[in-house]
Structure 1
Amino acid sequence: MNETDLAGARDGFRAGAAGAAIGTGIALAAWALSALIGDGAFPAYLLGPLLMPASSFVAPLWRERRGHRRPATLVALAACLPVMTAAFAVGDLLGESLDREPTDWTGVLYLVMLLVSSTVFGALAGPLGAEPGRSWLRFTGRSRRYHLTVYGSLAAAFVLAAGLAAAAG
């Protein structure tokens, strides 16, 4: 990883962390309101809106880092799948309810997924002001070793998540 990739990863992590912080604040406020008014259970309907604030922080990265944003988006979204598979496996291990309702651990794992995907996007999207990439799968101007590392890491994450799911199930 060169310096621009590390700077992009830091920018992506910061954007994801800011969105996760706001999402966590919203979730905690709703959970406190549920504790005051209702039964005190985590409101499962908040899991979707918990991730929405992140889009406002990741959107500037999308506009500024034009170089490889299409393959970076593809890889970042694909990185969400092994994280979600691991989240469901960990949810089973952490004692998810028998009727398969989401628990409060699911929200934490969604926030981890958000941080992973925004960091991956920031690292792979290329430097500021770069020319747009011309392919959905290829990071133009990058070596073959870079492609093998990126897609090999993604494949390894899929294998590890499948192994975790098999061990938990």
Structure 2
Amino acid sequence: MGWFDGGDNAAAFFSDKFGHRGYVIAGLPTVAGVGYLLLAIIEDQARSNIRYLGVWLAVIGVFPCLALNLTWVLNNQGGETKRGVGLAVIAILGQCSSFVSSTLYPKSDAPYFVKGCATGCALTFMITILSLGLHFKLAHENRKRDREFGPVEDHEQIDVTTLGDKHPQFRYFT
């Protein structure tokens, strides 16, 4: 493990420690969005250091977010079948980026690729909004389950093999 893993490990640590993966996931694409924004608006070779900062921000925001999104999906699926399907859907959608990238970053837009960077900026900020929305939706569902079935002890092991996320003690990882 090198020091380049620090961002990924810090994001994983804080999302696990505080139990609010949605907030951490929302923060990461915000950082990436700022990076993409810098790349989209700065078209000056004399300011390549700021463009390099934009690349760095985009990378440190996107890559930990990818790892946390996978674990968030897996944590919130009750049962092995749902986890498998959720992981497959995420993998399929993730592979679509290669098709989209070839259209958003055409050779004719070189060297700054403003259209692609602006789209990356918009999409990463959209991830921020969607992850916060999902966080609050899951927290609402957990409160509803607490009212209906009673609160669950922290770190209590439950068997979800038959009922999955329909189990009365299943709570979503927000």
Give the shorter-chain TM-score range: 0.3 to 0.5
Q: RCO higher in 1 or 2 (8 Å CA, sep ≥ 6)?
A: 1
TM-score, with length taken from structure 2: 0.39
TM-score, with length taken from structure 1: 0.39
Hey, which of these two has a bigger chunk of helix by percent? 2
